[in-house]
């Protein structure tokens, strides 16, 4: 397989541009399920050690079902498959631009949860107009073993999030082990108590928010992703979920810019519009840089040709 690697505000994306599995012509949800069932070794070989790492997100390009889209895309990580990926969408757009495949500065991606439109602002900067996002339940309090009472919002931004404003550690990179443990305990408690998003969907991201360190930002976050790696970027779907919460609570108006810093102090700028259904449509702007082109090789006698499951 041929892949192109990029990072979006510090979070890496590996895009399969040649040699990926043929998943047929069903819906993106159906093709994602088929990949999980019959071709999960592709995900594992690309994302897990020795070729990848827990923080890496993969993207398989495939023919879209909607003719208005440039490509379909299935996102995956170290533990499975994602609904959408904001940083990954920017990484895909910048990768396509790197390949000379972007016309008129607009890229439309068909994902399993809807179409996202990406506007390029030069070769390395892009704005993702995301799927409709919303606050599902506000001020949900859970009792976390060893921690105590934790209150957060459940929101959709293309993935499901539990967003928490208060916690016992500073949002600083040197505290990432404590922040990871705290967030993992929250996620385990949500699963144990069967607290879910709409239609019983798993809340697989936990997002902690605090005051920013850098001038010009509104907030700083720590996002624990499925597979228990933390997002180096400010998380595009997580920032979308945050906008939905702010909008629902009357704390952010349409077109008002929200500047979100990550745990490593990289940055997204974001705002939202209301569509005809009065749904919140977030737009997330960030930078991505291509840093590698590679051909992935496998040897039949390699015991770890499909990755190392730790």
Q: Cα–Cα distance between 214 and 146 in angstroms, integer?
A: 32
Residue 85 falls in the annotated catalytic set: yes
Q: Cα–Cα distance between 87 and 264 in angstroms, integer?
A: 15
Q: How far apart are the first and last CA of the chain?
A: 24
Across 151-183, b (16+ Cβ under 10 Å) vs e yields ebbbbbbbbbbbbbeebebebeeebeeebbebb
pLDDT at 110 over 90: yes
Q: Cα–Cα distance between 228 and 224 in angstroms, integer?
A: 6
Largest alpha-carbon pair distance within the chain?
Answer: 59
Strands (E), 125-274: 125-129, 134-144, 148-156, 160-164, 205-210, 219-224, 258-261, 267-274
Which of 62, 69, 235, 245 is an active site residue? 235
Residue with tokens 């934790």: 150
Closest by alpha carbon to 92, among 109, 112, 77? 109
pLDDT at 133 over 90: yes
pLDDT digits (tens, 9 = 90+) for 245-297: 999 999 999 999 999 999 999 999 999 999 999 999 999 999 999 999 999 99
Q: Beta strand pairing status for 160-164 and 205-210?
A: parallel
Q: What is the mean pLDDT of the chain?
A: 97
Taken in order of first residue, the domains within the chain and their CATH numbers are 2-130+291-295 (3.10.310.10), 134-274 (3.10.310.10)
pLDDT digits (tens, 9 = 90+) for 216-232: 999 999 999 999 999 99
Per the CB < 8 A criterion, the answer to whether 287 and 13 are in contact is: no
| Long-range contacts of the stretch 245-253 (C-beta < 8 A, 24+) | 245/135, 245/138, 245/153, 245/155, 245/163, 247/135, 247/272, 247/280, 248/134, 248/135, 248/138, 248/280, 249/135, 249/138
Q: Cα–Cα distance between 275 and 257 in angstroms, integer?
A: 17
Residue 235 falls in the annotated catalytic set: yes
Closest by alpha carbon to 27, among 117, 112, 130? 112
| Long-range contacts of the stretch 173-177 (C-beta < 8 A, 24+) | 173/263, 173/264, 176/222, 176/230, 176/263
Could you give the count of Cα atoms lying within 13 Å of 244 in the half-sphere of its Cβ?
A: 31
Tokens describing residue 84: 């959408």
pTM: 0.97
pLDDT digits (tens, 9 = 90+) for 62-103: 999 999 999 999 999 999 999 999 999 999 999 999 999 998
Provide the H-helix boundaries in the chain. 28-38, 40-47, 86-98, 176-192, 236-248
Torsion of CA 241, 198, 248, 217, to 10 degrees: -10
Closest by alpha carbon to 70, among 125, 30, 5, 15? 15
Question: In this predicted structure, what is the pLDDT of residue 103?
Answer: 84
Which of 69, 85, 225, 245 is an active site residue? 85
Calculate what percentage of the chain has a pLDDT beyond 70.
100
């Amino acid at each position: 397989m041929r892949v192109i690697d990029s990072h979006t505000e510090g979070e890496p994306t590996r895009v399969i541009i040649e040699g990926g599995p043929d998943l047929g012509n069903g819906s993106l949800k159906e093709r994602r399920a088929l990949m999980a069932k019959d071709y999960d070794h592709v995900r594992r070989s690309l994302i897990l050690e020795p070729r990848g790492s827990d923080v890496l997100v993969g993207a398989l390009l495939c023919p879209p079902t909607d003719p208005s889209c440039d490509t379909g895309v299935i996102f995956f990580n170290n533990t499975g498959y994602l609904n959408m990926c904001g940083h990954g969408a920017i990484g895909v757009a910048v990768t396509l631009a790197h390949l000379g495949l972007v016309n008129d500065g607009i890229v439309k991606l068909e994902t399993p949860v809807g179409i996202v439109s990406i506007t390029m602002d030069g070769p390395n900067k892009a704005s993702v107009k995301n799927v409709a996002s919303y606050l599902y339940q506000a001020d949900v309090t859970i009792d976390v073993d060893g921690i105590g009472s934790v209150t957060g919002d459940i929101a959709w931004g293309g993935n499901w999030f539990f967003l928490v404003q208060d916690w016992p550690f500073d949002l600083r990179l040197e505290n990432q082990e404590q922040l990871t443990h705290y967030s993992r305990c929250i996620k385990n408690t949500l699963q144990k108590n069967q607290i879910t998003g709409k239609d019983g969907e798993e809340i697989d991201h936990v997002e902690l928010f605090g005051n920013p360190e850098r001038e010009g930002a509104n907030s700083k976050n720590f996002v624990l992703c499925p597979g228990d790696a933390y997002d180096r970027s400010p998380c595009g779907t997580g920032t979308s979920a945050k906008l939905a919460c702010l909008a629902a609570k009357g704390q952010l108006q349409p077109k008002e810019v929200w500047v979100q810093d990550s745990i490593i102090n990289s940055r997204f700028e974001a705002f939202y519009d209301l569509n005809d259904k009065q749904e919140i449509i977030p737009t997330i702007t960030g930078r991505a840089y291509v840093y590698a082109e590679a051909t992935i090789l496998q040897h039949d006698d390699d015991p770890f040709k499909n990755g190392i499951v730790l």
